[in-house]
Amino acid sequence: MTLKIGDMAPDFTLSDDREKNITLSHLRGKKVVLFFYPKDNTPGCTREACDFRDQFAAFTKQGVEVFGISKDSAKAHTKFKEKYGLPFPLLVDANADVCEAYGVINKKSMFGKTFLGIQRSTFLIDEQGAIRGIWRKVKVPGHVEQVLNEIQ
């Protein structure tokens, strides 16, 4: 089943880069942005994370919680956050259960090999837990501004 605008966001509990559990349903009453990305410290993922970092004050001003999600470990997330000064939690989805629930695991190919990986995607969730924005196959330049425009 593919998620669509108006659907309730699948609930989850994941640990963050500090090994603190974050449960989506505990964030009711706040808007939430979840951005799914393939891997820490890769060029596209770094640029996307830094774009969210650079606009973090604008998200905070709108009362929005921002979370990055990938299959990387807490240790990898911590290094990534420290290296680039990322002010938001990075969540560990080691088994890709949340990625599966949000439909962001897709076939990818590199160097002639096909594999399953995270498709760069972002979800905007409202205060009641409903999905209000979905961006799939995200192209990084200008993406964070698109998300901010949707919130405003």
The widest CA-to-CA distance across the chain, in whole angstroms, is 46
Per-residue pLDDT of the chain (152 residues; tens, 9 = 90+): 589 999 999 999 999 999 999 999 999 999 999 999 999 999 889 999 999 999 999 999 999 999 999 999 999 999 999 999 999 999 999 999 999 999 998 876 667 777 677 889 999 999 999 999 999 998 989 999 999 999 97
Entry pTM: 0.93
Host domain of residue 47: 29-151
Domain membership of residue 145 (yes or no) is: yes
User: Residue 19: which residues within 8 A CB-CB, separation 6 or more?
Assistant: 74
The CATH number that applies at residue 127 is 3.40.30.10
Domain membership of residue 6 (yes or no) is: no
Catalytic residue list: 45
At 53, list the tokens: 């970092």
Query: Quick check: 14 and 91 in contact, CB under 8 A?
Result: yes
Structurally, how many domains does the chain consist of?
A: 1
Domain membership of residue 39 (yes or no) is: yes
Domain membership of residue 91 (yes or no) is: yes
Domain membership of residue 10 (yes or no) is: no
